[in-house]
Amino acid sequence: MLSHRVDREDVRALVPKLPVIIRLVHLYAPRRDLSQRMKLTFGQIKVIQAFRDHPTRRVSDIAKALRVTNGSSSIMVERMVRLGLVHRSSDPNDRRVSVLTLTLKGRKLRDQHLKFLERSLANLLAHLSQTDQQRFVNALDTLWGLLKEHENDMNQPGAQA
C-alpha cells in the first residue's frame, strides 16, 4: 500500500472541520429534511439504505451493516414491517432464518433518499470550481478505497484493530 508522510498540523487543522462539513451538507440540503417528510427515524433510513446493493437481506446482515446487535436490528426491522416498508419471509432452506426485502413503498423511499443525498451534495459542490470538485471527488475516492481495504483486512480471521 502506498503511504505518504502526513503533516500532523494538517491533521489537527482538519479534525475540527469535519463536523462543519457535515453541517454544510445539511445546510445545502432541501429545506425540509427527508427523514421528517418520510416520518422515518435516521436508523430506519439506514436500514432502507442497507438494501441499496443487496435486494435481500437477513436480520444479521442489517445488524452488521448498522453495527448494532441482532436484537436491536430485529426490533427495528419489525417496526418497518408494520410500516409496510420491509417484507419478511422464511428462508426455504432454513425456516429459522428470515429473508427481508423492501416493499414497493420501501424501494420508493430508498430511491427518494438517494436522490435527496445527491441533490444535497450537488448543492454543496456547486460552490467549488470544476477543478476543486474533481480534486475533492478524487480524494474521497482514494480515501474510500483505503477504508474499504482496511475494513476487508479487519474482517479476516485473526485481524486486530
Write out pLDDT tens, residues 64-103: 988 899 999 999 999 999 999 999 998 888 888 889 999 9
Whole-angstrom distance, CA of residue 14 vs CA of residue 44: 31
Burial call 88-108: b when 16+ CB within 10 Å, e when fewer = eeeeeeeeeebbbebeeebee
| CA-CA-CA-CA dihedral for 115, 17, 147, 71, to nearest 10 | -70
Average pLDDT in the chain: 81
Whole-angstrom distance, CA of residue 77 vs CA of residue 62: 9
Greater model confidence, 4 or 32:
4
DSSP-derived secondary structure letter, 5: -
Q: Tell me whether residue 79 is exposed, middle or buried, using C-beta atoms within 10 angstroms of its C-beta: 0 to 12, 13 to 18, 19 or more.
A: middle
Tell me: pLDDT of 27 over 70: no
pLDDT of residue 151: 72
**CATH among 1.10.10.10, 3.40.50.450, 1.10.3720.10, 1.10.3660.10 for 8-125:** 1.10.10.10
Tell me: pLDDT of 134 over 60: yes
Tell me: pLDDT of 34 over 60: no
Tell me: pLDDT of 161 over 60: no
Q: Please tell me whether residue 129 adopts helix, strand or coil conformation.
A: coil
How far, CA to CA in Å, does 82 sit from each of 73, 87, 137, 139? 14, 9, 39, 41
Q: To 5 degrees, how large is the angle CA 24–CA 28–CA 29?
A: 115
pLDDT of residue 70: 92
pTM of this structure: 0.70
pLDDT of residue 28: 59
Q: Please tell me whether residue 128 adopts helix, strand or coil conformation.
A: coil
